[in-house]
Structure 1
Amino acid sequence: MKIKLLSVFVLLSSVSMAQISILNADMPQANDNLRYSTTASTFDYTSTGANYTWDFSSIKVQNQDVQKYFSPLQTPYLLQFLSNASYGIPQSNQGLGPIGGVASNVYMFYKTSSAAQIIVGRGATIQSLPLGIVYAPKDTVFKYPLTFGSTYSGSFSGEQSLATLGTLKQAGTRSTTVDGWGKITTPYGTFDCIRVKSIVDETDSIIFNGFGIPLPNSKIEYTWLAKTEKYPIMEVVVNSLTSAVTSIKYKDIYRPEAYVNNANFSANKVGGKIGDTITLSNKSFGIPKTFNWTITPGTYVFAAGSSATSENPKVIFTATGKYSVKLSLTYEGAADDTLRTDYITISEPVVAKFACSNVMPAINETVYFTDSSTGNPTSWKWAITPTTGVIYLSGNIAQNIQVQFTQKGNYSVQLTATNASGNNIVKKDNYIQVWPTSIKPVEPVALAKFFPNPAKNFVSVELSQSGIAELTIYNILGQTVLHKTLENTSQNQINTEDLPRGMYVIEIKQNKQKLSERLILE
């Protein structure tokens, strides 16, 4: 009796840990919808062997989605793959490098049969044209039946001309081994399984103007398969060049916590002016079924044919203010949303303006520069040239600044004022004239009138008192450039045609009184 019981126990043990064989019936078919989770947990995915136990029960779900297997009739690529593919799986969009643009609506197409699961090519939409890369030879992913010790290898390649843009080409080899069997445990459950290791050495090339630009895409795929489960119980993909894990997926049940923080988006800019077009871009995890954008307040319109339900809408804002943006998503059996309060700021265009306390200061005198810009700027940057002899007492990025000039000469002043809509620059050339203290202009008295000012080839001087007057014109360095004795109280015309254009001081001395004024020749 004991011997019989022992025999039954040994038989049950061997059955519970029996090797399995994976067939086409155990794998996905067209129109299947299979839920999977992803994880960022770290664990030993390389160890394997016969009658091995893989315990991944402690991994934590990060995100979740549903993998759909579309009939070629449900894709834009039925002309290329209707007769030679069983289903297509959506892939991420891909950049086109030097060709420019993006390959969107990307699908990987598979042919399944009792003999094998084969990748027959890829489809992508480029410049609104649905294109297909049909492999010849094709990429054999799984050769049935899959049993412990099975090995096979092969090559694949395909290319698609883009007319004047160039050519897309994909080529590589795959070497596959079923290197383990046993039991695997994940948050989804415990299963008898086999472990399949595939080494894929692939190069995607963009051939442009006769030159090939290789894009290495080599990887190692570790896949745990169980009977009738269709989707891998666990799948780990590793970049062959960097040894970095690029994805971890495992079959799972619906877990609401996996959809928290799935919704994500960005804008091409978060500030602008009325009339600017701002693009909102979906950056969410997985493949949402629907999108719904809510923007408050409602002073905006959608542009370029987009709407509140577009994945990447374009928006024109029609009033100034701060706008909050919310993206709501639905997935297969789940939903998520994210709100960014006061995310976009629309402002009036800024117009830079300023004034100063004294445009003709003496050396080392403090000059106060005051911002008077419109459009509510939020940042300022002052620049005074030449920089030699300029001391910013309060820095050069405050709204209002204080400056001392330690050398005489002409100085230009520039202010850059910025708000959310952009910036504006105003520059006043030769705005500041720093004079030696000994000839700093004094307050004018009623000795004479000078006109016109600014002047060109002459300036008229009208004396208010009788008697001889001495007229002197000084340059910026305090040097006398013209001197003349005046006797008429009526207009005296002074020829300035030969003087260089610029800033001067004109001075009248009469009856022990003196009048100095700035004179501009242009």
Structure 2
Amino acid sequence: MKKIMFSCLSMILTLSVFAQPTFDNSLMGTIGGSYTLTDWDATDFNPGEAGAGVIWDFSAITITGPVTVFNNVNPAATPYAASFGLATLAVTPDNTNFGYFQVTAAQYNSLGVGTPGASISYSNAETIFSFPLTYNTTNDDTFAASFVSTGVGFNRSGNVHMEADGYGTLILPSGTFTNVLRVKVEEDYSDESIGLPVPLSIEYETELYYWFMEGLTGPLFYYANMVTSSITGTTTTELGSLNPEAVVSIQNVSLPENLIHVFPNPATENLYIQNMNNIEFENIALYNMMGQSVLNQTMNNETITAINIEELPAGIYTLQLRNESGTLSKMISIE
């Protein structure tokens, strides 16, 4: 019976890994909603391969913070509404800087940004995503804008290519996420100065990678590589962010009583894990709300395993048990 149960669990996990996710225009949320991102160290990051059923293992990344909440607001209620009449959605991390978007059933279009220092309003919008968005969806577009920065006028023009180039399993410090779609966005554009005695040209080449998971607003994981070239030289900037709330809201799966029993919950000094079916687990870990690993050890696979947690700060954590077939997760509270 135990072998049958384990085989069924393995089969379910395997089938879920190869399911192909599809997204509509609610991908980045609607007015009144929000999503949360925190930074991680993207230095010399390799975004991995494209394809079907890929396993992207980024469990070794270092989360640096801070945590930022991006709010979706009504563009008409923002300070720069007059410059973005076609916008149906505005996104802001601080109620000072705003990104403006036109969201239709078929497209997610960037109309530009409004900031105290400079506003860029596209005369030709940039299509970032097209819908329905699933594996092998592609889109090509051009975009253009004119704007003023530090007293100098610029004309911007460029091309963007979007491709949903892979799906599979994403492994982060916070856990293992299945049915994840990767979308690669490549931008190639330039800013040309207007009216300067010596023309100034700035060239940009960017590669943006988004990992999306059904049921989660905004990206689960994000990486950007931006190369900027001008008369002063060439610089490369790498940025990374992830959704730290995905650990609790998505990956927190209630475990069947016939697999394990965790007690006490809340816990103060020791946490006990009772293996109800003698299923072997290779690893046990605890993650905080930031997705940072605070405990990682080999599972002894005894009937009851004890974990000392008295040195950990009070809060909500995710307990994870892993074996070759997948990951089981449960939210716990430490007081």
Return the TM-score normalized by structure 2. 0.61
The answer to whether the 8 Å contact 1:34/1:68 transfers is yes
Task: Tell me by how many angstroms 1:14 deviates.
Answer: 2.9
Amino acid at match of 2:127: T
2:90 maps to which of 84, 87, 91: 87
Amino acid at match of 2:241: K
Task: Tell me by how many angstroms 1:106 deviates.
Answer: 4.4
Equivalent residue runs for 1:79-478 within 5 Å: 79-89=82-92, 105-126=96-117, 132-160=119-147, 165-191=151-177, 192-209=179-196, 212-240=199-227, 244-253=236-245, 255=289
Is residue 69 of structure 1 aligned with residue 72 of structure 2? yes
- Say what the alpha-carbon RMSD is for the aligned residues: 3.3
The answer to whether the 8 Å contact 1:36/1:251 transfers is yes
Task: Tell me by how many angstroms 1:110 deviates.
Answer: 1.2
Change (3 A) 1:235 1:13: same
Task: Tell me by how many angstroms 1:245 deviates.
Answer: 4.6
> How many angstroms apart in 1 are the aligned matches of 2:15 and 2:91?
39
> How many angstroms apart in 2 are the aligned matches of 1:11 and 1:256?
29
Task: Tell me by how many angstroms 1:243 deviates.
Answer: 8.3
Q: Which has the higher contact order (CA 8 A, sep 6+)?
A: 2
Partner of 1:31: 32
Amino acid at match of 2:61: I
> How many angstroms apart in 2 are the aligned matches of 1:82 and 1:188?
40
Decide which structure has the larger Cα Rg and report it.
Answer: 1
Change (3 A) 1:90 1:11: closer
> How many angstroms apart in 2 are the aligned matches of 1:249 and 1:161?
29
The answer to whether the 8 Å contact 1:188/1:251 transfers is no
The answer to whether the 8 Å contact 2:75/2:87 transfers is no
Task: Tell me by how many angstroms 1:255 deviates.
Answer: 4.3
2:60 maps to which of 54, 58, 61: 58
Q: Secondary structure at the match of 1:79?
A: helix
Task: Tell me by how many angstroms 1:9 deviates.
Answer: 7.3
Return the TM-score normalized by structure 1. 0.40
What do the CA deviations read for 1:403-435 (whole angstroms, capped 9, x no partner)? xxxxxxxxxxxxxxxxxxxxxxxxxxxxxxxxx
Amino acid at match of 1:246: E
Q: Secondary structure at the match of 1:172?
A: strand
Task: Tell me by how many angstroms 1:217 deviates.
Answer: 2.8
Q: Secondary structure at the match of 1:184?
A: strand
> How many angstroms apart in 2 are the aligned matches of 1:233 and 1:54?
13
Q: Secondary structure at the match of 1:51?
A: strand
Change (3 A) 1:230 1:188: farther
> How many angstroms apart in 2 are the aligned matches of 1:234 and 1:180?
14
> How many angstroms apart in 2 are the aligned matches of 1:57 and 1:184?
9
Amino acid at match of 1:158: A
Amino acid at match of 2:166: G
Q: Structure 1 regions of 5+ residues with no counterpart?
A: 92-104, 259-522
Q: Secondary structure at the match of 1:13?
A: helix
> How many angstroms apart in 1 are the aligned matches of 2:85 and 2:169?
38
Partner of 1:17: 18
